[in-house]
Amino acid sequence: MIPSRLPGIPRSQEIIDRAFRQSNRIQDFYKKDYLEKDKIKSIQKIQVIEAVARATLKRIVQGYPQNNDLTDFERNMAYLLFDFESYERSLRRLKWTMNKISELATEYIRKIKSASEVDKVDTLRKAFYGRFSSYIEDLEDYLDDLREIRLLLREIPYIDEKLPVVVIAGFPNVGKSMLISKITHLKPEIASYPFTTKKINLGILEGKLGKIQVLDVPGILNRKKRNVIERKALIAIEKVANLVIFIIDPSETCGYPVDEQEKLLSEIKAIGKRVIEVENKSDILKRNNERLKISALTGEGIDRLINLVEDEINDREIKGNSGI
Ligand SMILES: Nc1nc2c(ncn2[C@@H]2O[C@H](COP(=O)(O)OP(=O)(O)OP(=O)(O)O)[C@@H](O)[C@H]2O)c(=O)[nH]1
Ligand SMILES: [Mg+2]
């Protein structure tokens, strides 16, 4: 599972500045022997710098999911959205740097302890500062990578595996987002051009027998090679859907011919999930066939659709239980 709060990713310079700023806050104290005082102060500064950098890197390393923390759906989405190996490499590099900085601090503290002149202590302290900074500066590309991936991880919705999932699918512009806005509290963007929805939207339908997760997904075209946006929809159907509401727009105001939409429907049915077929935009055109007619715009047929969804879901649960 992807944590709901993924730590923000600072820039290298911010980590360096934060560490030095904290080290400058160390209280001054009186000690007669100047060499001793310089040693204690230098050691304290190194310890603070190490602790601040370590804490920052640790928060990131521990706050981001590993491959086996992910559900099947999350993993498939992550593989689709970014290069997972490079993500793992970046996390490993942060961890490596975290250890290197601790080793560096230990090494310089030991050297400072055995120094016999103030000048030597100052040189050692400055050498630590330089090497510390370059370790953190070397993280810049990895931090940039993680900052981008953070946004992509955040777009993957959390699916509660204990609750049923209904995916609303179909060609672009057929009214999927308008439908989810009618059956859940979600208010996604609705517009009269294709691919308005580029990410998966999750809404909750408060059913009579409990909550049902409803996913409004991007439109899918009837073609072999699909882009990343279309593939998000397919992953949702394949990996988490218990039921699919497939919307056909017979009015073709979506901009796509009905026979293309029918071909996509056949392909989706072949995935093997249960499918409720509906024809939307019934306020414009109602064809003479068996399918449920709805209008996401006027609300016509929406109550019947919700009843059908609930019947299908509950039917599955009864069958599921008796199958044990
Ligand atoms: N007349 C009419 N227009 C509708 C109906 N449902 C949706 N629309 C219109 O169809 C257009 C597309 O609606 P959306 O809900 O954004 O469609 P979508 O399937 O989510 O589209 P993508 O996100 O691009 O895949 C909008 O202009 C809606 O106002 C309907 O039942 N009747
Ligand atoms: Mg949409």
pLDDT digits (tens, 9 = 90+) for 124-156: 999 999 999 999 999 999 999 999 999 999 999
Go through 108-144 and write b for each residue having 16 or more CB atoms within 10 A of its CB, e for each that does not: bbebbeebeeeebbeebbeebbeebbebbeebeebbe
- Contacts of 132 by beta carbon, 8 Å cutoff, 6+ apart: 16, 19, 49, 50, 53, 101, 104
Provide the number of structural domains found in the chain. Answer: 2
Q: Are residues 169 and 305 in the same domain?
A: yes
Q: Is 245 in the pocket of ligand 1 (CB under 6 A)?
A: no
Tell me the three state secondary structure of residue 215: strand
**Per-residue model confidence (pLDDT) at position 147:** 98
User: Which residues keep their CB under 5 angstroms from ion ligand 2?
Assistant: 176-177, 196-197
Predicted confidence band at 27 (pLDDT cuts at 50, 70, 90)?
Answer: confident
Q: Is 201 in the pocket of ligand 1 (CB under 6 A)?
A: no
Any domain includes 71: yes
Q: Is 191 in the pocket of ligand 1 (CB under 6 A)?
A: yes
Residue with tokens 């882009």: 227
Distances (CA, A) of 317 to 55, 164, 209, 313: 47, 9, 11, 6
Q: What's the average model confidence in pLDDT over 218-233?
A: 97
**Per-residue model confidence (pLDDT) at position 183:** 97
Q: Are residues 116 and 81 in the same domain?
A: yes
Q: Are residues 171 and 306 in the same domain?
A: yes
Report the C-alpha gap between 34 and 116 in whole angstroms: 11
Q: What's the average model confidence in pLDDT over 185-190?
A: 97
Closest-approaching ligand to the CA atom of 190: 1
* Pairwise pLDDT comparison (319 vs 172), residue with the higher score: 172
Q: Are residues 193 and 142 in the same domain?
A: no
Of all atoms in ligand 1, which is nearest to the CA of residue 280?
A: 31
Of all atoms in ligand 1, which is nearest to the CA of residue 194?
A: 24
Angle at CA of residue 223, ends 219 and 228, nearest 5°: 55
Distances (CA, A) of 154 to 65, 127, 159, 262: 12, 40, 13, 33
Q: Are residues 209 and 75 in the same domain?
A: no
Q: Are residues 113 and 38 in the same domain?
A: yes
**Domain assignment of residue 81, given as a range:** 12-154
Kindly report the pTM of this predicted structure.
0.91
Q: What's the average model confidence in pLDDT over 94-114?
A: 98
CA 272 to chain CA centroid, nearest Å? 27
Q: Is 196 in the pocket of ligand 1 (CB under 6 A)?
A: yes
Report the C-alpha gap between 175 and 36 in whole angstroms: 75
Contact at 8 Å (CB) between 185 and 261? no
Q: Is the pLDDT of residue 311 over 60?
A: yes
Report the C-alpha gap between 141 and 132 in whole angstroms: 17
Neighbours of 250 (CB within 10 A): 20
Of all atoms in ligand 1, which is nearest to the CA of residue 298?
A: 31
Q: Is the pLDDT of residue 179 over 70?
A: yes
Of all atoms in ligand 1, which is nearest to the CA of residue 174?
A: 19
Query: What token pair was written down for 179?
Result: 């439908």
Q: Is the pLDDT of residue 321 over 50?
A: no
| CATH number, domain containing residue 318 | 3.40.50.300
Any domain includes 189: yes
Estimate the crossing angle of helix 12-23 against helix 34-63, to 10 degrees.
Answer: 140
Q: Is the pLDDT of residue 320 over 60?
A: no
**Per-residue model confidence (pLDDT) at position 212:** 97
Any domain includes 119: yes
State percent of the chain over pLDDT 70.
97
**Per-residue model confidence (pLDDT) at position 322:** 42
Report the C-alpha gap between 7 and 156 in whole angstroms: 16
Q: What's the average model confidence in pLDDT over 63-70?
A: 97
Distances (CA, A) of 143 to 58, 70, 188, 295, 301: 13, 21, 31, 47, 50
Query: What token pair was written down for 291?
Result: 């399918």
Q: Is 283 in the pocket of ligand 1 (CB under 6 A)?
A: yes
**Per-residue model confidence (pLDDT) at position 148:** 98
Any domain includes 159: no
Residue with tokens 């090494």: 107
